[in-house]
Every structure is written in C-alpha cells, then in structure tokens.
Amino acid sequence: MRRARALALASALLGLPAWAADRPAALQVPDTLAQRLQPCMACHGAQGRAGREGYLPRIAGKPAGYLYQQLLHLRDGRRQNATMARLLAQQTDAYLREMAGYFAVLDLPHAPVPVVTAPPAVLARGQALALQGDAGQRLPACSACHGNRLSGVQPAVPGLLGLPRDYLIAQLGAWQTQQRHAQAPDCMAQIAQRLSPADLGAVATWLAAQPVPTQPQADATAPGPAPMPCGSVDQPPP
Ligand code: HEC
Ligand code: HEC
C-alpha cells in the first residue's frame, strides 16, 4: 500500500503515468526539475519535508521569497554551510529561483511533534517571548513578524514551527556570531543579539515542542505593522 502510493507520487513528480513507475528498467527518465532536485532530498527528506529530529531544516512549503534568498545567501557565503555552498556554487540566480519555487508549492504533511522535556518555567518563558515579546529586553514578539500562528508570512518570512530544536538554536546562534546574515537591515541579527543564552534556549525549546497548525501555509499578510525594519521583507518577489 505504502509502496504503491510512493510509486504513484514518484511518477506524478516525474510526469509519468502511474504504471510506468513499476517498470523502471525499461524507463527513460526525463530530465525534470523534480529529478534534478533528488540530491536535495537525501538531506532535506523526501520532497524536502525533513522531520523534527536531528538538525536538517524542512524546506517544503516555505515561502518562495524566503527560500530564494537563502539559496543566494548560502551560495554567496552570507550564510555559511560548506555543503550547501558547494552544491550551489555553479548555479545561476534563475535556477535558484526555480528551485525555490519548486519546494515552496509542495504541500505535504508534517511529522508529529517530538517529545520535548523541559521545566515548565522554561516553556512558559519561551511561550511569552514567542507570543508577547519582552519590552525590557527590546524584544518584539516573534509572532509580530512570523504571524499569529507562527506559520510565516508571504513572501519572505518563514514559519517557526516544525523545525528541529537544534536547528533553531544553531540559526539564532549563527546570527549572534555573524555566521548568518540576511538583507540589511538584518532584524533577525538584532533580535538574536538581544536574546540571552537562557532566553534563546527557552524560545527554541518552546517552538520545537509546538504542533504545526492544520493549515500550515504562511499567512498572506503580516499581523500588523513590522515592529522593526527587515531588509529581506522588502526584496522584490522571486
Ligand atoms: C549533504 C546534505 C545536504 C544536501 C544534499 C542539501 N542540503 Fe540544503 N541544507 C543542508 C543543511 C545542513 C542546511 C542548514 C545549514 C545551516 O545550518 O544554516 C541546509 C539549508 C538549506 C536551505 C535553507 C533552509 C532554511 O530554512 O533556511 C535551503 C533552502 C536548502 N538547504 C536547499 C537545498 C537544495 C535546493 C538542495 C539541493 C540542490 C539542498 N539543500 C541539498 C544540507 C543539505
Ligand atoms: C521584526 C520582524 C521579526 C521578528 C520580531 C522576529 N523575526 Fe525571525 N525572521 C524574520 C525574518 C524577516 C526572517 C527571514 C530572514 C532571512 O531572510 O534570512 C526571520 C527568520 C527567522 C529564523 C530562520 C528560520 C529558518 O528556517 O532558518 C528563525 C529561527 C527566526 N527568525 C526566529 C525568530 C524568533 C525565535 C523570534 C522571536 C524571539 C523572531 N524570529 C522574531 C523577522 C522577524
């Protein structure tokens, strides 16, 4: 049953009739974008839907503008990951835009929420930061930009749910240590720098423990005026 569905999906992605997937030996696999992006799935999960264990970010269903900017940053060294940089080194902007578009429209189920064990006070602090912010630390609520449901906002703000805790911690840490940059003004760098180590851990832990809403797609519009300017939001759409 599972296998039949997987084959049907594979053939749909490859643009083949369903029966053809059962006869791979006789098959001339066409050069489709889906096929050329197979190497990405090795790390990012089948069709880019990596789960919440481990480190790898899911890319399926993220806003296209966000994905495109990340591919440019990873290729050009504003965001550092040696594997991604090597994979993208020879690729044109136009092809990166195509890749971003391919993964952005995939609408696939999310993995179940992992069991996260943390003291209630840590989770409460994480929730308060995510949904209310902390004026004393000049921290706006994460939801002010990432959407009331934290599912992201089109076209350039990613959702914060469904990601592994280690990945969230690493990204906020990378902004603190200037290993990750977004378009200036880089609001996330400022926000990360205002997070104490305890607050960084608390917000990442709380986010990683939340279920993904049943409608996980990014919202069409921001919940209100941006609390700080973010250069990546003002980029022309891909
Ligand atoms: C060998 C494993 C590997 C392969 C293969 C790989 N990636 Fe990645 N990718 C990663 C890792 C690890 C990160 C996180 C980097 C970091 O820590 O910032 C990442 C990050 C990304 C991001 C940023 C995600 C986000 O939420 O900000 C995008 C987009 C992406 N990869 C797209 C691709 C595409 C498209 C391909 C195929 C051309 C690909 N990756 C192949 C390992 C891989
Ligand atoms: C002023 C608006 C704003 C606020 C407030 C904000 N963010 Fe962001 N965030 C962004 C934007 C814009 C991006 C995309 C940056 C880029 O293009 O790399 C982003 C990206 C991220 C990412 C990267 C996701 C990925 O898939 O790699 C993480 C993690 C993140 N934000 C966490 C947070 C947390 C935690 C908070 C609250 C403490 C927060 N953000 C508050 C605007 C904001």
Band (pLDDT 50/70/90 cuts) for residue 28 is: low
Q: Ligand 2: which residue has its CA nearest to atom 34?
A: 142
Residues 6+ apart with CB under 8 A from 4: none
Å from CA of 151 to ligand 2 middle: 11
- Whose CA is closest to 123, among 231, 207, 6, 234? 207
Nearest CA to ligand 1 atom 33: 40
- pLDDT > 90: percent of the chain: 68
223: number of CA atoms within 13 Å, CB side?
16
Instruction: Report the pLDDT value the prediction gives residue 23, as an integer from 0 to 100.
Output: 45
pLDDT higher for 28 or 221?
221
Residue 216: per-residue pLDDT: 87
* Contacts made by residues 41-44, CB under 8 angstroms, sequence distance 24+: 43/83
The residue nearest atom 43 of ligand 1, judged by CA position, is 43
Among 31-35, 126-130, 164-168, 216-220, the minimum mean pLDDT is found in 31-35
- Predicted confidence at residue 55, as pLDDT, reads 84
Using alpha carbons only, give the angle 203, 65, 97 rounded to the nearest 5 degrees. 135
Q: Which ligand is closest in space to the CA of residue 41? A: 1
Residues 181-202 have pLDDT tens digits of 999 999 999 999 999 999 999 9
Distances (CA, A) of 64 to 7, 16, 45, 68: 27, 26, 18, 6
Q: Name the band, by pLDDT with cuts 50, 70 and 90, for residue 6.
A: very low
Is 73:182 a contact under the CB 8 Å cutoff?
yes
Q: What is the pLDDT of residues 86-103, one digit of tens each?
A: 999 999 999 999 999 999
| 24-28, 38-42, 113-117, 153-157: least confidently modelled range | 24-28
Between CA 196 and CA 111 the distance in angstroms is 30
- Atom number of ligand 1 nearest to Cα 180: 18
Lookup: tokens for 110: 């999310």
> Which residue, among 93, 95, 79, has the nearest Cα to 40 in the 3D structure?
95
Q: How far is the CA of 58 from the centre of ligand 1 (A)?
A: 9
Average pLDDT, the chain: 87
Q: Which residue's C-alpha comes closest to atom 16 of ligand 1? A: 81
CB 215 within 8 A of CB 162: no
Calculated CA dihedral for residues 144, 150, 155, 158, nearest 10 degrees: 110
Rg (CA), the chain: 19
Residue 30 is predicted with a pLDDT of 67
What's the pLDDT score for residue 107?
87
